[in-house]
Structure 1
Amino acid sequence: MQDTQGMSRERLDRIGRFIEENYIATGKLPGALVQVWRRGELALNAVLGVADRERQVPMATDSIFRIYSMTKPITSVAVMMLAEECKIALDDRVSKYIPAWENLGVFAGGFMGRFQTRPPTRPMLVIDLLRHTSGLTYAFQQNSNVAAAYRKLKLGELATEGTLDDMIEKLATLPLEFSPGEAWNYSVATDVLGYLVGKISGMPFDVFLKQRIFDPLGMVDTGFYVPEHKAGRFCACYAVGALGSKAITPRGPLLQDDPQASPYLKPPGFLSGGGGLVSTAADYLRFARMLLGGGALEGVRLLSPKTLALTTANHLPGGVDLARMSRSMFSEVAYEGVGFGLGFATTITPASTLIPGSAGDMFWGGAASTFFWVDPQENLIGLFLTQLLPSSAYPVRRQLRTLVYSAITETDTRSR
């Protein structure tokens, strides 16, 4: 069995077998798609199980997935493209673009309608939105009276009523959880960035993404909804735990979103830069290859290598990891040894993560258990697509990274 691109063919093949035996055959996941890209070639493309369990539609290489928070790196790249054009700066006050936010206070007590606040120690900056140190939160955090107010107003959820403008207006009525820069908290900040992209660029957020990122990179199946002629390729979405059945049923996890009756089948009113996109393996791999290529792919450059280096550096104050700074009850990443850049998590101390890897990688995941990472040091991309809520249901991401790095037979420390 011949090795490929400095990786063991035998060990690559056992990745698919592991997912099949431990997740597909046991009913934990209806289906999955795993890709590994190394040294300019696709070293693994494992297409497993079904995309739609109820109709027994096989998983396919071109299946369309809800990528949820894997939307965030795309939105963050859009912001950094505008930063390169000096249309926005990382140390700009957010109130420069959202004047109604100039006097946002910090939660000091009370409930919605009777909040007590104090002044923040400093204003919210654009960098705070990119690195989740803004003081904003998510409705699902379940850890504060502020998050409870988000739930009441349906803020930052895919079922958000109204538009991005409506969300910005509602947020102006609520306090921050903490002063900007004091902590890390997974939040609607990237949805706010989507609003800023539209406001600063002078075009709707979805149009900017299509014209400036998707079309240039050849991401032909990525967008905020699934067109009718592509609906047959759209995966079903399932759920376990609090989001679905309390345990695996005889048929597997509970159907959460039927692909033939999904809200994704029509354009949404709320364009979520934090979690609204659908995509395919081929499309997201092209986005990841652009990142691996220092901001360019096949002659198309979105970012300078220096801008990308800035984007993927750890920007947490004091250079600490998330374990030292996070107040979040949930995010798409484990915390030990991991920092956060401008829209991406990054490994800063591989030994602290207790799994193989490289310092300086960039990665993130989505609520339906999707995951990707880009490792420039090893000239490597890993991509995992499936459709199971929540992403914390199983340790499949950690296992996948272990299996992929265990397949490497030749380390690659060359530059991009």
Structure 2
Amino acid sequence: MKSENEIKSVLQKIVDEGQLAGAATLVWRADSKDGEAQTVCVGWRDVEANLPIERDTIFRIASMTKPITSVAALMLVEEGRIALADPISRFAPEFSHMRVLRSPNGPLDETDPAERPITFEDLLTHRAGFTLADFHRGPIGQAYRDALGGEIDSDVAPDDWIASLAQLPLIGQPGSAMYYSCSTDLLGFLIARIEGAPLGEVIKRRIFDSLGMTDTSFLVPREKRTRRAAAYGFDEEGCLTKLVTRSGVFVAERPDDMVFESGAAGLWSTLDDYLKFARLFLGDGSVESVRLLRPATLAAMMSNQLTDSQRANSVLLGQKPFAVGRGFGLGVSVVLETDKADFMRRGSPGTVSWPGAFGGWWQADPAEGSVMIFLAHNMVDLAQMGKGIGLGVWGAIDTFQTLALAS
């Protein structure tokens, strides 16, 4: 196909320019005659070892993990195990008496009592009042680092992580505003607590085994590790370099006995595995007769849950991503008004999506019956982004989507 060749040519140019180590893309349409996805692979999963990106390359998907954890939580809602309005203290009494900072970057001892409990809906919509360490220069940022360990690979055990988070003040009253945060990590640990099993076991049984997602997990088995994409980033001069580890985020090699499993950002996956999951959002919550969610539950997940004020005032990486034409449902971004100039709003109204910090992105457009997936392994560094370093992967996603839509 012409578009496939164009996508490959453009992405190869970005790789050749040193803005990207490699990438794998997929486009799937429900009305395709042969039912096959169109895939493009460029660059290297390991530059130094001369190993190319291939269709079955296993990538860290970072925050593309969040929609999966959110689906698992909604399955519990459907079973009557939890309700969206339930306080999380029902299963985590550690959060029974929360305090809220008077200023998000102010002293940790200047707080007021939380006006109401944190609910499961708050976790799914990032309105609990939690945050992430890198988003704050004030005391709360360092407090998160000291208490919670790495954001993807942490040496803090789940119950200790929960207890430590509960000791930290919130940066906003529960339900008052959207603060992108560690809420989905907490949601994952609560799912594990409710189910009496590690999160990885729960989502494998409930989601991955059901959909045939055989290459998606928190720990890549040893026999599959030659298929992994190595992590890349940039040095201070903007040159592409392999990242053995990144302090406070992930380790060089996740130990087999690490019990921390990040429901927000910890999964590895492939193009074809994630396609099986993303197709849930094209219909009624099922894929090829395998049902995970009821139509009404899926519709709620894919509907904006933020108030107009919350959309207008939510800030992420210095931007206000939901201020115009875009909302947030239960774990996914939702297009409200199409804008062809914005890759997060280029789909039809009702399109859902979410990116990941390693340069991954996906979207499912139910009106068009299409899924697009872009997987890369370029770790985004917030400080470097502020200097214009590492932005090439977002331009690559934008270009891929534009060409795919034109085909």
SS of equivalent to 1:372: strand
- 2:168 paired residue among 166, 174, 179: 174
Distance (whole Å) between structure 1 residues aligned to residue 205 and residue 164 of structure 2: 29
**SS of residue in 2 equivalent to 1:32:** strand
Quick one: structure 1 residues 46 and 232, their matched pair in 2 at CA, closer, same or farther if it must change by over 3 Å? same
Asked whether 1:306 is paired with 2:296, we answer yes
Q: Could you tell me which amino acid in structure 2 is paired with residue 36 of structure 1?
A: V
- Does the alignment pair 1:400 with 2:375? no
- One-letter identity of the residue aligned with 1:10: K
Structure-2 change in CA distance of 1:175 and 1:274 (3 Å): same
Relative distance call for 1:200 and 1:330 in structure 2 (3 A) is farther
Does residue 347 of structure 1 match 2:341?
Answer: no
User: Structure 1 residue 354: deviation in Å?
Assistant: 4.3
Closer, same or farther: CA 294–321 of 1 in aligned 2, 3 Å: farther
Q: Structure 1 residue aligned with 2:3, among 4, 7, 11? A: 11
Alignment partner, residue 216 of structure 1: 210
How do 1:190-339 and structure 2 match up within 5 A?
190-240=184-234, 245-249=235-239, 253-257=240-244, 262-264=252-254, 266-318=256-308, 322=311, 324-329=312-317, 336-339=324-327
**Could you state the TM-score of these two structures normalised by the residue count of structure 1?**
0.87
CA pair 286-257 structure 1, distance change in 2 beyond 3 A = farther
CA displacement at 1:156 relative to structure 2: 5.8
> 1:205/1:136 Cα in 2 relative to 1: closer, same or farther (>3 Å)?
same
In the alignment, the residues of structure 2 paired with residue 128 and residue 94 of structure 1 have an alpha-carbon distance, to the nearest angstrom, of: 9
Return the letter of the residue paired with 2:5. Answer: D
Which residue in 2 is equivalent to 1:368?
Answer: 358
Measured in 1, the distance between the counterparts of 2:5 and 2:192 equals 44
| Aligned-partner residue type, residue 175 of structure 1 | P
| In 2, Cα distance between equivalents of 1:92 and 1:120 | 16
Q: Is the 8 A contact 2:101 2:108 kept in 1?
A: no
Match in the other structure for 1:25: 16
- Alpha-carbon offset, residue 273 of structure 1: 0.3
Distance 1:111 1:72 in 2: 26
CA shift for structure 1 position 325: 2.8
Matched letter for residue 139 of structure 2: N
Overall identity of the aligned pairs, in %: 36
CA distance in 1, matches of 2:164, 2:226: 37
Aligned equivalents of 2:320, 2:188: Cα separation in 1: 19
- Report the CA distance shift for 1:146/1:352 in structure 2 as closer, same or farther (over 3 A): farther
Shift, 1:27, TM fit: 1.5
Root mean square deviation, CA, Å:
2.4
Deviations 1:190-223 (A, max 9, x none): 0011011112222221111111111111000111
Distance 2:151 2:214 in 1: 26
| AA of the residue aligned to 1:373 | Q
Name the SS for the 2:102 alignment partner. Answer: strand
Among 83, 87, 91, the residue aligned to 2:85: 91
1 CA distance for matches of 2:320 and 2:353?
10
> Which digits, 9 at most, give the CA deviation of each residue in 1:117-170, with x for residues without a partner?
102233211111001111001112134432221022244612422211111100
146-155 vs 103-112, greater mean Cα deviation: 103-112
Q: 2:36 aligns to what SS in structure 1?
A: strand
Whether contact under 8 Å (2:148, 2:156) holds in the other structure is no
| Of 51, 60, 84, the match for 2:45 | 51
Residue ranges of structure 1 left out of the alignment (5+ in a row): 1-8, 408-416
The residue matched to 1:198 in structure 2 has which SS? helix
Cα shift at 1:406: 2.5
1:267 positional shift: 4.7
Structure 1 residues 109 and 379: alpha-carbon distance in aligned structure 2, compared to 1, 3 A threshold = closer
Matched, 1:63 2:57: yes
The 8 Å contact of residues 133 and 183 in structure 1, kept in 2 or not, is answered as: yes
CA contact (8 A) 1:350 1:358 kept: yes
**Aligned residues between the structures:** 387
Could you tell me which amino acid in structure 1 is paired with residue 65 of structure 2?
T
Q: Judging changes above 3 Å, is the alpha-carbon distance between structure 1 residues 232 and 368 closer, same or farther for their aligned structure 2 residues?
A: same
Q: Is the 8 A contact 1:106 1:175 kept in 2?
A: yes
